Homo-oligomer: A and B are copies of this chain.
């Protein structure tokens, strides 16, 4: 590969001049600039960004650490992040952790060694996550989707509490009173917030909280099915259930149908996330949408702002959630 020196030789100038025309960082007279450009063509010159990075101390690269890029939710966030990062001049290195804390810190180390300019991190929920975030030795980091306690950092999260409240209120308004809830693992904040929203709304409606109606899932499709089985086996099963994410909602619908129930006639099910396929499940899923793509773009913006200005005050973005009504919820037949 041709180097800047080859270009300089061909053009009959110094490497400094070549650099100046490449980066447009100082006036160069027109005849010379032309000769340089021609020489670049001729030698098929591609600037070596790693040499550049070494010199200027910036790689124009950020790291994305997420549990699973194949998960519809994270995939969408990642897409938003990549798009916006690119338009801001940054590339992104993708790292999957499956929520494993040891892989999280391994990737953090790796990325720091690679001299990324910043990190966006969807942390697993364990209580040491905060300390991992703090271990970046000054590399800017923004935390997405999950709130981490006890640490000052840029954050972008969806308004999960409000979302769960909207979902529950919607079911109440339809006339349901016996409403179940399939939660996620309690140590990640979105999951906890959604469960909280459900509880809070039920209480506010003057309904006593039946703990047997609250089943713990793990955000995977399958667990929604199991939870639904448990709920249906109850002496007095719920007429509606709020699932804390779409995958579990879909699993729940699947199980309900297999049990011979009709959704929404016999049981209403509402999800959370609004993943792409929620619109085309059968029945189409009523759910509360998270601004997944926007979470990615906002994270990118937040991160490059911080890279530009490391001492700016920390910011926390709370993005709105939205109820999207489709066909998986209806008025109960026997209220």
Which positions in A face B, CB cutoff 8 Å? 1, 44, 46-51, 53-54, 59, 61, 64, 68-70, 72, 75-76, 78-79, 82-83, 86, 91-96, 109-110, 112-115, 137, 221, 250-251, 253-254, 257, 276-277, 279-284
Complex partner residue of A59 from B50, B79, B280, CB under 8 angstroms = B50
- Alpha-carbon distance between A298 and B137 when the two chains are bound, in angstroms: 36
The verdict on A79 contacting B68 (CB below 8 Å), with A115-B50, A250-B280, A284-B254 known, is: yes
Asked if A72 and B69 make an inter-chain contact with CB atoms under 8 angstroms apart, the answer reads no
Q: Which of A1, A53, A282 has the most CB of B within 10 A?
A: A282
Question: What chain B residues lie within 8 Å of A281 (beta carbons)?
Answer: 277, 280-282
**Residue contact B61 to A70, C-beta cutoff 8 Å:** no
10 new A-B pairs (CB below 8 Å) besides A61-B114, A64-B94?
A46-B113, A48-B54, A48-B115, A70-B276, A79-B96, A82-B94, A91-B114, A94-B94, A254-B280, A254-B282
Task: State whether B70 touches A96 (Cβ < 8 A).
Answer: no
A213 CB → nearest B CB, Å: 23
**CB-defined contacts of A61 to chain B, threshold 8 Å:** 93, 114
| Residue in contact with A114 in the complex, picked from B49, B70, B72, B250, CB distance below 8 Å | B49
- State A110–B61 Cα separation when bound (angstroms): 12
Which residue of B has the minimal Cβ distance to A59?
Answer: B50
Interface centre among A69, A79, A254, A280 (most CB of B within 10 A): A280
A93-B61, A95-B82 known; A280-B109 Cβ under 8 A: no
Chain B residue numbers with a CB within 8 Å of A79 are 68-70, 96
Cβ distance A311 to chain B, nearest Cβ, rounded Å: 18
**Distance between A277 CB and nearest chain B CB, rounded to angstroms:** 5
Query: What's the Cα separation between A46 and B105 when bound, in Å?
Result: 14
Residue contacts A-B, CB under 8 angstroms, 27 given: A46-B109, A46-B113, A47-B113, A48-B54, A49-B113, A49-B114, A50-B59, A50-B114, A50-B115, A51-B54, A61-B114, A69-B69, A70-B78, A72-B72, A82-B96, A83-B96, A91-B93, A92-B94, A94-B94, A221-B276, A221-B280, A250-B277, A251-B280, A254-B282, A277-B281, A280-B281, A282-B283
Smallest beta-carbon distance A65→chain B, Å: 12
- Closest B residue to A106 by beta carbon equals B86
Shortest distance from the beta carbon of A48 to any chain B beta carbon, whole Å: 6
**Would you call A92 and B91 a contact (CB within 8 A)?**
no
Inter-subunit contact B70/A137 (CB<8 Å) = no
Interchain residue pairs A-B with the least CB separation, the first 4: A282-B282, A70-B79, A70-B75, A94-B94
Instruction: Report how far A197 CA is from B45 CA in the complex, Å.
Output: 45
Q: How far is the CA of A11 from the CA of B212 in the complex (A)?
A: 63
Q: Assess the B48–A50 pair: CB atoms within 8 A.
A: no
Checking B59, B86, B93, B221 against A92 with a beta-carbon cut-off of 8 angstroms, the contacting residue is B93
